[in-house]
Structure 1
Amino acid sequence: MTAESKYEAVRSRDARFDGVFFLGVRTTGIYCRPSCPAVTPKRENVRFYPTAAAAQGAGFRACRRCRPDAVPGSAEWNVRADLVGRAMRMIGDGVVDREGVAGLARRLGYSARQVQRQLTAELGAGPVALARAQRAHTARVLLQTTPLPVTEIAFASGFASVRQFNDTVREIYARTPSGLRAASARGGHGTAGRREARCAARAEAGGVTLRLAYRGPYAARQVFDFLERRAIPGIEEMTGEPGARAYRRTLDLPYGTGLAEVAESEPDAERAWLDCKLYLADLRDLTTAVQRVRRLFDLDADPYAVAETLGADPALGPLVARTPGLRSPGAADPHELAVRAVLGQQVTVGAARTLAGTLVAAYGKPLAAPTGALTHTFPDAGTLAGAPLTELGMPEARRTALRTIAAALADGAVVLDTGADRDETERALLALRGIGPWTAGYMRMRALGDPDVFLPGDAGVRHGLELTGAEASEADQWRPWRSYALHHLWHATARTAES
């Protein structure tokens, strides 16, 4: 986008670009999302920034009315497989907070200086500034949705000291932490803030209530259907009736265990979020937990870009029009997804779900206090690598494949973290005995969040191609959104089976 086209998006308050870029207003010293409802500033007073961190680094504070720090992330970081895209996914997962810039660089395979230089050149901010912006957002959420003492919030947000926390909050929000909390209680910080205050009032003790924003249409029913069919007993459950369901699951996080509860909502032009409640053993895991739930529900996707490409295809166009906003769900735990993919080889979705439930009951880590149908976290790779797996009742070749992938994950031969090189990871997977193109591709799509995976050998995809009259050879025309094409084909197959 040019600066002029960005300004036109601002003039029309186009929410499609929230999170894609930010605008700083020189006369007020604030930065906003493009859809901010405030009076549109004059063009000569506007500066554009690719990230909130860049706007903050230029001296702008966050708008109290539109809350630019609460927008969906840019879909660009999921599409891009280069250093910047990988780095942004890892920063979102909290790697800089836990391991510093040196740890980020080591995971990416570059020097810290190279990472700093390239991020600054493209995004206007280095990894420390990007992580700092994310910490500030986490702090604001905790201040406005929990009764925790300010000192605890400082360290839970990832800040190294209370002084650093205070200085950052004052700089970005032009209020002290206690002032930010007080404004939330009064509802004196804009529409978005009042909504968060109402969420906080309904929050139960010990949980953090959030609204996870997304852009464009969101096919919630189809996403919840997809997750419900695959819900593993013991670690996942779906409660309620369609249209008002709640997806609940356990999380194994860097500092402890957690539980996420995400509510289904009917499509609504005025509603662009999913309600989420997180229960965490250690609040330092908040940022990581939020990012993992966002990836699972594919909340940072750009449905407009997907529809522009797939909707123009004669075969897929009717499917896209029938189900706008269909997403490609990711994974809350990449290692768990890898094991699930092997369990799903050559069996139905229901059979794979049963096998996974048996695995969890036999090798999962029990929760200290079960809640509802949630009793365990998923078994770790090291445990499964040395397990007999006789409880599964499946051929020895598949048990061997399961132990093989678990061992590769445990010793680092295969890396499935958010910043992994997708091509390199797929090659490493295919080198393992018992891992074929379907299994590697499914892991790449869901565990690594690749939006451009196609599985021509999948039975559901073949059936979907027959229904639409499309050919697998045409899939290259659907780049870089072939994962979404795949889900449309699966959905068409499921609709046919139901009718």
Structure 2
Amino acid sequence: MEAVERRWRPAWPCPARQILSVARRGAGDPTYRVDDAGAHWRGIRAPTGPTALRVWETASSGEVCAEAWGEGAEWVLDQLPQMLGAEDDWSGFEPRHPLLVEARRRHPHWRIGRTGLVMEALVPAIIEQKVTGQEAFMGFRRLVRAHGSRAPGPHPDLWLQPDPQRLVAVPSWDWLRFRVDPARSRAVVAAARVAGSLERLTGLPHPEADRRMRSVPGIGVWTSAETRVRAHGDPDAVSFGDYHVAADIGWALTGEPVDDAGLAVLLREWAGHRYRVQGLLGLAGAHRPRRGPRMSPRGHLPG
């Protein structure tokens, strides 16, 4: 199988690998690999078919280089600039807070990418609801390896997520084996049954896309935000309901942790760019000191 190639020269020094990595679900994500040369690989179910994408940067020319294999190769390469943040609009954003000013200075080329692929972001977000990252990443890996498929192209261990038809058919005992409880598995199946409608949400204004996404049973504010920031490139999709986000942002900006209500008040001055604040603080490593025991993976689900 021959690769389709593209060389793209962004209008800014694009940190392609940093921007792409938001799609990675843990170090063992079978749909995301990093090879010995430092190139990043993604297994993608494009609208036109299964695809493998390999991306790397060339410092000497300032170009981003990509190769793609499979039926969706042309579509994926056409989407590459928006995946890497070429459409991300910073107008109206003022850092104001010294920590944000410094984060912006240190990461001036960071952008919010937009994949245009809703189910790809939504399924792992649902699996990540209300559990530790360790448990969620394990469940996602098991789902992909059991019900996904190998990506086209030369990578020996790159995978595609299951398609919606396959997700609907996953038996209940498999979900339990993956440590995905019935509430989350029902939400995945509910989303898979309306996958076509969900994919079309990328053409809507962000608030309307949020409203419609949250009309699906089991998809709430947090899951919608985690999906929209990746699939839609929504700069306002802050992760309300997260176990750490509100407390971390509150601590970074005021010296005290806050809850979701406090976070909403705190971020008012950045309306329209609230995820941008979250993202910059994450890049700056602005996390409150952890106290007390960590959340542990639950042991009541079968292994």
TM-score category, normalised to shorter length: 0.7 to 0.9
Asked whether the equivalents of residues 69 and 152 of structure 2 are also in contact (C-alpha less than 8 Å), the reply is no
Deviation, structure 1 residue 358: 0.9
| One-letter amino acid of the counterpart of residue 179, structure 2 | G
Asked whether the equivalents of residues 208 and 277 of structure 1 are also in contact (C-alpha less than 8 Å), the reply is yes
| One-letter amino acid of the counterpart of residue 486, structure 1 | Q
Q: Which of 70, 79, 95 is matched with 1:292 structurally?
A: 79
| One-letter amino acid of the counterpart of residue 137, structure 2 | R
Deviation, structure 1 residue 341: 0.9
Structure 1 residue 256 corresponds to structure 2 residue 59: no
| Matched position secondary structure for 2:129 | coil
Residues 376-423 of structure 1: CA deviation (Å, up to 9, x unaligned) = 32211122123223331222212112212222325x3x3445313433
Alpha-carbon distance between aligned partners in 2 of 1:391 and 1:292, rounded to the nearest angstrom: 36
The TM-score normalised by the length of structure 2 is 0.77
| Matched position secondary structure for 2:138 | helix
| Matched position secondary structure for 2:19 | helix
Residue ranges of structure 2 left out of the alignment (5+ in a row): 256-261, 290-303
Identical-residue share of aligned pairs (%): 23
Residues 160-190 of structure 1: CA deviation (Å, up to 9, x unaligned) = xxxxxxxxxxxxxxxxxxxxxxxxxxxxxxx
Alpha-carbon distance between aligned partners in 1 of 2:10 and 2:88, rounded to the nearest angstrom: 8
Match for residue 193 of structure 1? none
The TM-score normalised by the length of structure 1 is 0.49
Residue ranges of structure 1 left out of the alignment (5+ in a row): 1-204
Match for residue 208 of structure 1? 4
Structure 1 residue 234 corresponds to structure 2 residue 8: no
Alpha-carbon distance between aligned partners in 2 of 1:493 and 1:351, rounded to the nearest angstrom: 23
Asked whether the equivalents of residues 55 and 64 of structure 2 are also in contact (C-alpha less than 8 Å), the reply is yes
Deviation, structure 1 residue 226: 4.0
Deviation, structure 1 residue 216: 2.8
Give the greater-gyration-radius structure (CA): 1
Match for residue 176 of structure 2? 390
Q: Which has the higher contact order (CA 8 A, sep 6+)?
A: 2
Match for residue 379 of structure 1? 162
The change in CA–CA distance for 1:293 and 1:357 in structure 2 (over 3 A counts) is farther
Q: Which of 434, 438, 444 is matched with 2:218 structurally?
A: 434
Q: Which of 137, 141, 145 is matched with 1:361 structurally?
A: 145
Structure 1 residue 483 corresponds to structure 2 residue 275: yes
| One-letter amino acid of the counterpart of residue 344, structure 1 | E
| Matched position secondary structure for 1:245 | coil
Structure 1 residue 402 corresponds to structure 2 residue 195: no
Residues 102-128 of structure 1: CA deviation (Å, up to 9, x unaligned) = xxxxxxxxxxxxxxxxxxxxxxxxxxx
Alpha-carbon distance between aligned partners in 2 of 1:223 and 1:334, rounded to the nearest angstrom: 17
Match for residue 245 of structure 2? 460
| One-letter amino acid of the counterpart of residue 19, structure 2 | V
Alpha-carbon distance between aligned partners in 2 of 1:369 and 1:277, rounded to the nearest angstrom: 10
Match for residue 246 of structure 1? 39
The change in CA–CA distance for 1:418 and 1:397 in structure 2 (over 3 A counts) is closer
More helix by share: 1
Structure 1 residue 493 corresponds to structure 2 residue 298: no
Structure 1 residue 278 corresponds to structure 2 residue 62: no
Structure 1 residue 310 corresponds to structure 2 residue 97: no
